[in-house]
Amino acid sequence: MWRLILESNHLKHTDREGMIATSFLLIYLLFAYLLVYWTKTVSGITLTRENFIVNIFMYVVPCFGVISMVYFRESTLSSLGMSKRKSLWILGLMILSLVFYTQDLLLKIIIIVISEEIIFRGYAANRLRASFGKWGSIVIAGIILGLLYSVVPFVSKSITLSELSVYILIGIITQLILQKMYFRFNNIIMPMVFHTGILFIAL
């Protein structure tokens, strides 16, 4: 059933939706750079507080923004790879992670993974694929994702072009694997679980 839902959503997404999704990702990227720059160089807030603010505005706010935008436009969340019930569980898990937010690594990973999967796989994958094809969607979303990964290193210290290229390559590979998994299993839960496990092992 989920395969039919995703295929129908893929077919109804137009070039306009793809351009909207691309514009959203670029605005999100710019916002992330400005946010991290402000918290690290202007605000003077403590590191713990800084991490909390960055997680709220860099991940949670855009995630809720995407969910609200899609639901308002389509009156359903199926194009994000979620049923209404699953979305409530996912958002509830994110809110609990914020309520009990500390320096706990797992809670940070949960917030990051849920937001990234909803934005880059649930929202962007279908819409970019409809406009730019399978590989075009992976490259576009992957480049933006890689640049997003480079935000903190870029603001904290200058990074070389080769280092930036590595981040972009990681972004493209990540998008390739998780986007393929998203369409293979026809929902967003499997990429979330896989992504969480990989980050927890890596970090």
Residue 11 has a pLDDT of 43
Residue 91 has pLDDT above 80, yes or no: no
Record the pTM: 0.84
Residue 104 has pLDDT above 50, yes or no: yes
Residue 48 has a pLDDT of 52
Residue 108 has pLDDT above 70, yes or no: yes
The rounded Cα 192 to chain-centroid distance in angstroms is 11
Averaged pLDDT for residues 75-99: 77
Residue 1 has a pLDDT of 44
pLDDT in tens, 22-31: 999 999 999 9
CA distance 14 to 131: 7
Per-residue confidence band for 39, with pLDDT thresholds at 50, 70 and 90: confident
Residue 7 has a pLDDT of 44
Average pLDDT, the chain: 82
Averaged pLDDT for residues 110-122: 91
| Three-state secondary structure readout of 31-69 | HHHHHHHHHHHCCCCCHHHHHHHHHHHHHHHHHHHHHHH
pLDDT in tens, 141-200: 999 999 999 988 888 777 888 999 999 999 999 999 999 999 988 888 889 989 988 887
Residue 177 has a pLDDT of 94
The mean-pLDDT minimum among 36-40, 100-104, 128-132 falls in: 100-104
CA distance 114 to 79: 16
Query: Which residues touch 43 (CB under 8 Å, ≥6 apart)?
Result: 50
pLDDT in tens, 44-82: 555 455 567 777 888 888 988 898 888 888 767 888 887
